[in-house]
Amino acid sequence: MFKIDNFIRDVKDFPKEGIIYKDITPLLEDPEATRKTLESFLTFLKGENIQKVVGIESRGFFFATLLAQELNAGFVPIRKPGKLPYKTYRESYSLEYGEDVLEVHCDAIKKGEKVLVHDDVLATGGTAAAACKLVEKMGGEIVQVNFIMDLEFLKGKEKISAYNVVSLISY
C-alpha cells in the first residue's frame, strides 16, 4: 500500500541546528509516488471547477503545476520579492524572527475565479495566509488550500482556518 511518508526524508539540523527538515526530494524522484500523490490530491477536488492553481515558492510549484494541468486550470506562481517581471501585489507576513513578503502578478487571477492554493508544507501558516490574502485581493474565490504535509505542532492551520484545508499527511 502506498504511504507518502515513506518518501519524505528527515534531514536533521537543516537549515539550522535543532530543525528537522521534511525533504520531499525522494517523493519527486519516484514517478509512481509522484503520480499517486497527485491522484490523492485530485480525490479532494472532485466536482470543483478550479480555474487557477496557485503555487507558493518554491516547493509548492512542483505539484501546483501538475494539479493545474490535471484540472485544466491556469498556474499562478506566488514568489518572493523581485522575482516576477510584471506589476505585482505584495503581502507581508510575520516569521518567527522578522517579516517576509510574497508577490503575485496583479492580473493573474480574475474576480470570481475559483482558486486552489498549494504548498508542500503547512508549518506556522504565515506564508499560506499571505498567499490567500493575495488571491482575495484580486477577487479570487479560494476553494481549497492544500499541502503534502502539515506540521501540526506548529498550529499553522489556525491561521487559515477560514478555508477548506487539506493535508495528505500530518506530523
Please tell me the distance from the alpha carbon of residue 145 to that of residue 148, in angstroms, as a whole number.
11
Q: Pick the catalytic residue: 17, 32, 96, 99?
A: 96
Q: Pick the catalytic residue: 59, 91, 103, 113?
A: 59
Please tell me the distance from the alpha carbon of residue 99 to that of residue 65, in angstroms, as a whole number.
27
- At residue 37, φ and ψ (nearest 5 deg) are -65, -45
Question: Residue 59 catalytic?
Answer: yes
CB 68 within 8 A of CB 75: yes
CB 65 within 8 A of CB 75: yes
Please tell me the distance from the alpha carbon of residue 54 to that of residue 138, in angstroms, as a whole number.
13
Grouping H, G, I as helix, E, B as strand and the rest as coil, residue 67 is helix
Please tell me the distance from the alpha carbon of residue 131 to that of residue 91, in angstroms, as a whole number.
8
User: Catalytic residue numbers?
Assistant: 59, 96
